[in-house]
Amino acid sequence: MTLSLRFRAAIVSLALLGVFLGVWHLATRGGGATATMSPEYAKLMGLTATQGKSAMPGPLDVGAKLWEHLKRPFYDNGPNDKGLGIQLAYSIGRVGLGYLIAVIVAIPLGFMIGMSPLISKALDPFIQVLKPISPLAWMPLALYTIKDSSISAIFVIFICSVWPMLLNTAFGVAGVRKEWINVARTLEVGTVRRAFTVILPAAAPTILTGMRISIGIAWLVIVAAEMLVGGTGIGYFVWNEWNNLSITNVIIAILLIGLVGMLLDQVLARFTRMVTFPE
Amino acid sequence: MTDKFISIEGIARRYPGAGGGTTTVFQDFWLSMARGEFGCVIGHSGCGKTTVLNILAGLDEPSEGTVIVDGQGIEGTSLDRAVIFQSHALLPWRTVLGNVAYAVSSKWRKWDRARVKAHAQKFIDLVGLTGSEHKHPSELSGGMKQRVGIARALSITPKIMLMDEPFSALDALTRGTLQDEVRRICLETGQTTFMITHDVDEAIFLADKIFLMTNGPGAVLAEIVENPLPKERGRIDLHRHPYYYALRNHIVDFLVSRSKSFAAEVTDHDPRHVPTVRPGLGEPVIVSPPRVVEPNPAQSVAR
Ligand SMILES: Nc1ncnc2c1ncn2[C@@H]1O[C@H](COP(=O)(O)OP(=O)(O)O)[C@@H](O)[C@H]1O
Ligand SMILES: [Mg+2]
């Protein structure tokens, strides 16, 4: 029954996709009225005005362009013309690095907060104030102090992904069942071994949930950050193609951003499942 | 009192109460047990049984007094005192073998994997879980989980086993089987065991001595009941023994009425010298305390 449900859902999904592509195609097919205007103005307005063609590319245009990109994902023709693969690799690299630093900072710190009520109370006001700050608000400060746009972007990724991990780690560690701690205590297990053999596995599902939230936020933020700092990355690509008025490329970039985001989420979801234990 | 292997000496446990005062769960609490003895504590919920056991385990600290085990005051938890938790407290991310091996490798840190595994396996076999080594706790029934808890506690060959209502969450049939096994294992190994229970028949079957606690707050150890039944007793025909009903009625009477009225009725209770009674045919016989000279040895305890 579940298989047939999945099967039916897949059919509905495909149908919805078909309807969406069909409507998109019809809406952008062109054949709209050509406005009467002076030739100079018509030239400025482009094909929309002169041939009644929509400026919005249709699914076929996007498909053809996407195929072009997929054939040569890694070409590099200078700063403003790089393959999508290269741009995505830059973004994923920045997200990966900022995220990794956040993991290295957040998990040990979260452990300390979770284990010590004193540290928890002492750090709480700082966390409460810092957490709601939009990561992009840090950008000018980062650019001013770090003076390197790429590292600033990594810093912004770090700052936005650190909070969910920190809070979830602290929450998970503080919530480890007393009886499991007591087992370790009656077995005279030392603090370090206890942290690794009881607290870490017990809190792992909560920690991984925080990490999954973080990777999602980091991927959201990298696009905006790269639009600001420029140079490379998928966010910069979107902005650059907007300036080139290449809506086709913008749509392709949007699609890829969604796909990569989904992949990142799936990877973390798999890790979460690996550490989750049934009770 | 010949051999005081465990000696709880005048402990008290207080909690900050409402309105700035303190609530005393119990105070001036004395209890001792000999090596190899099986002691059961019976009392109503909230009288402080778990607190006493946790203090004995080193998981909790008394507000006053000390606990001496094998001639030494205890400080915190110890591998010499294994605890079997009511909620079994297995680590759910470890298998049966993993849970027992965790205890084994905690006690013998230098042992290699194979040795730890072999030792753990021996105790898994002992509690009858052969074949389930690689299951996770979530795949086990309540009784099997508690068996793992018992195997884990036994595997570190503790001097004392502490059990806090270990079978209360189990169905009657499973409980019976586990009682049989615990009794067999304790008799075979001469294990000193301190157990809390709600179940009068469980106490009668398992215990050499039954400690009766009055209701809290301000609970006291009212009486020590010596089990008059022979060492070789079966769970099935327990109730056929001539002493059984005297013993059972004595304990039930205590739980039903005397546990409530004890504080009001007995004004000369000396917590250091708690009377020991041995119910048998006829009225229960006081066999101690040593200090108080009883005019009539057959006098009823119901004062
Ligand atoms: N952390 C605590 N704060 C205040 N009172 C407590 C605390 N823990 C236990 N108590 C009190 O101590 C008493 C004894 O508890 P416990 O030893 O668990 O009883 P039992 O195991 O006999 O049911 C209870 O009345 C309970 O309310
Ligand atoms: Mg209790």
On the question of pLDDT at B298 being above 50, the answer is no
β-pairing verdict for B192-197 and B38-42: parallel
* Region at B58 (left for phi over 0; alpha for psi -120 to 50; beta for the rest): left
> Contact A240/A84 with Cβ under 8 angstroms?
no
Cβ neighbours around B267 below 10 Å, total: 7
pLDDT in tens, B109-157: 999 999 999 999 999 998 889 999 999 999 999 999 999 999 999 999 9
DSSP B219: B
DSSP string, A187-235: TT--HHHHIIIIIHHHHHHHHHHHHHHHHHHHHHHHHHHHHHH-SSSHH
Nearest of B48, B53, B61, B76 to residue B6 by alpha carbon: B53
In which band, very low, low, confident or very high, does the pLDDT at A42 lie, cut at 50, 70 and 90? low
On the question of pLDDT at B99 being above 90, the answer is yes
Cβ neighbours around B302 below 10 Å, total: 12
In which band, very low, low, confident or very high, does the pLDDT at A54 lie, cut at 50, 70 and 90? low
Residue whose Cα lies nearest atom 4 of ligand 1: it is B15
| Nearest by CB: B93 against A188, A189, A277 | A277
CA of B41 to the centre of ligand 2 (A): 11
State if residue B17 touches ligand 1 by the CB under 6 angstroms criterion: no
- Secondary structure (3-state) at B177: helix
Cβ neighbours around B68 below 10 Å, total: 15
> Contact B99/B90 with Cβ under 8 angstroms?
yes
In which band, very low, low, confident or very high, does the pLDDT at A166 lie, cut at 50, 70 and 90? very high
pLDDT in tens, A108-130: 999 999 999 999 999 999 999 99
pLDDT in tens, A210-232: 999 999 999 999 999 999 888 89
Rounded-to-integer distance, Cα B73 and Cα A15, Å: 76
Say what the pLDDT of residue A37 is: 63
Closest-lying ligand 1 atom to the alpha carbon of residue B16:
4
What is the arithmetic mean of pLDDT over B244-272? 89
Q: A188: which chain B residues are within 8 Å (Cβ-Cβ)?
A: 77-79, 106
Kindly provide the residue ranges of all beta strands, DSSP E only, lying in chain B, ordered along the sequence: 6-16, 22-33, 38-42, 64-69, 72-73, 81-84, 160-164, 192-197, 209-213, 221-226, 276-278, 285-286
Q: Which residue has the tokens 């909690």?
A: B15
Rg (alpha carbons) of chain B, rounded to whole number? 20
Angle (deg, nearest 10), helices A117-130 and A149-174: 140
β-pairing verdict for B160-164 and B192-197: parallel
Rounded-to-integer distance, Cα B239 and Cα B244, Å: 6
Nearest of B282, B189, B287, B204 to residue B239 by alpha carbon: B204
Bridge partner list, B83:
B162
Encoded tokens for A106: 């957040």
For chain B, give the percent of residues with pLDDT over 90.
62
What is the arithmetic mean of pLDDT over A90-105? 96
Whether the ipTM is more than 0.90: the answer is no
Closest-lying ligand 1 atom to the alpha carbon of residue B15:
4
On the question of pLDDT at B97 being above 90, the answer is yes
| Nearest by CB: B138 against A177, A183, A278 | A278
What is the arithmetic mean of pLDDT over A187-213? 95
Report the mean per-residue pLDDT for chain A. 90
For CA atoms B237, B238, B241, B242, the dihedral sign is: negative
Is the whole-model pTM more than 0.95?
A: no
pLDDT in tens, A225-275: 999 888 899 999 999 989 888 899 999 999 999 999 999 999 999 999 999
List the Cα angle A156/A162/A164 in 5-degree steps: 125
Say what the pLDDT of residue B291 is: 53
In which band, very low, low, confident or very high, does the pLDDT at A44 lie, cut at 50, 70 and 90? low
Bridge partner list, B73:
B68
Encoded tokens for B23: 């609530």
Give Cβ neighbours of residue A73 (< 8 Å, ≥ 6 apart): A83, A84, A85, A86
Report the mean per-residue pLDDT for chain B. 89
Cβ neighbours around B300 below 10 Å, total: 12
| Nearest by CB: A198 against B58, B91, B107 | B91
Rg (alpha carbons) of chain A, rounded to whole number? 25
Rounded-to-integer distance, Cα B42 and Cα B222, Å: 11
Bridge partner list, B285:
B278
A46-55, A174-183, A221-230: the lowest-pLDDT one: A46-55
Say what the pLDDT of residue A46 is: 58
Say what the pLDDT of residue A82 is: 84
State if residue B279 touches ligand 1 by the CB under 6 angstroms criterion: no
Q: B157: which chain A residues are within 8 Å (Cβ-Cβ)?
A: none
On the question of pLDDT at B248 being above 70, the answer is yes
Cβ neighbours around B99 below 10 Å, total: 26
* Encoded amino acid at B190, one letter: G
Give Cβ neighbours of residue B97 (< 8 Å, ≥ 6 apart): B117, B120, B121, B124, B133, B134
Rounded-to-integer distance, Cα A62 and Cα A249, Å: 8
Q: Which residue has the tokens 């902005």?
A: A239
Residue A36, chain B, CB below 8 Å: the answer is no
* Region at B17 (left for phi over 0; alpha for psi -120 to 50; beta for the rest): beta
DSSP B236: T
Say what the pLDDT of residue A129 is: 95
Encoded tokens for A143: 């650019």
B50's enclosing H/E stretch is helix B49-57
Rounded-to-integer distance, Cα A261 and Cα B4, Å: 67
* Encoded amino acid at A197, one letter: T
On the question of pLDDT at B302 being above 50, the answer is no
Say what the pLDDT of residue B267 is: 83
* Inter-chain CB proximity B59 and A188 less than 8 Å: no
Rounded-to-integer distance, Cα B222 and Cα B217, Å: 14
pLDDT in tens, B30-84: 999 999 999 999 999 989 999 999 999 999 999 999 999 999 999 999 999 999 9
Residue of A nearest to B161 (CA): A186
* Inter-chain CB proximity A198 and B58 less than 8 Å: no
For chain B, give the percent of residues with pLDDT over 70.
92
* Inter-chain CB proximity B79 and A187 less than 8 Å: yes
CATH architecture observed for domain A97-232+265-274: Orthogonal Bundle (1.10)
State if residue B15 touches ligand 1 by the CB under 6 angstroms criterion: yes
Encoded tokens for B96: 């049966």
For chain A, give the percent of residues with pLDDT over 90.
70
Enumerate the domain spans of chain A.
97-232+265-274
pLDDT in tens, A17-29: 999 999 999 988 8
